[in-house]
Amino acid sequence: MRFLLRWLGCFVGVLFAIWVTPGVSTTGSSWVPAVTVALFLALINLSIKPLAQVLSLPVTLLSLGAFALVVNALMFELANWLTISMFGEGLVIASFSSALVASVLVSIVSTIMNGLTGARG
């Protein structure tokens, strides 16, 4: 149940990032790409992201934590790439800076949603 709530929080975050971030949009007019990107993002955050954070720890420490934002953006790009590869539709991300802004927004909104739904902890 907790994973479904996290997926919901991630979905709301992806929708908010699509709405707010210039350079990020869906390939279609439906919300299906946002659902699949949110699913892959939730799965990546549970499995691959902790390993990536441990491997990038020296660079993150040297950059005083700023490199963690780059790791978030790369995970967002990976989730989008998996969605496009498997389903043929996903998000259109114009640049890495757009992915960086979108990943920060997704993190903030999903943290708020997870706190409201009790999925955190």
pLDDT over threshold 70, residue 120: no
88: closest CA among 30, 12, 10? 30
Going by C-alpha positions, the residue among 50, 21, 17 that lies closest to residue 34 is 17
Reported as a single tens digit per residue, the pLDDT across 20-78 is: 999 999 987 788 899 999 999 999 999 999 999 999 999 999 999 999 999 999 999 99
Please compute, for residue 38, the number of CA atoms within 13 A of its CA located in the half-sphere on the CB side: 27
Structure tokens at 33: 């790409």
Question: Residue 92 in 3-state DSSP?
Answer: strand
**Domain residue limits, the chain:** 2-117
Q: Which residue has the higher pLDDT, 14 or 1?
A: 14
